[in-house]
Amino acid sequence: MKKKACFTLGLAFLLNGCLGYHLGPAKPAYLREIHSIAVPMFRNSTLHPRVEALVTGTIIKQFQQDGTYKIANEDSADAILKGEIVAVGRSPARSVRGNVLSTVEFNLSLTVTYKLIGRDGKPIPVAGSASGNTSFFVGSDVSTDERQALPLAAEQLAKSLVSQLSEGW
The string of pLDDT tens digits covering residues 42-60 is: 999 999 999 999 999 999 9
pTM of the model: 0.80
- Characterize 82-111 residue by residue with b for buried, 16 or more Cβ atoms within 10 angstroms of its Cβ, and e for exposed: bbbbeebebeeeeeeeeeeeebeebbbbbb
Contact 115, 80 (CB under 8 A): no
The string of pLDDT tens digits covering residues 64-114 is: 999 989 999 999 999 999 999 999 999 988 877 777 677 888 999 999 999
Domains, the chain, in order of start with CATH, read: 26-167 (3.30.160.150)
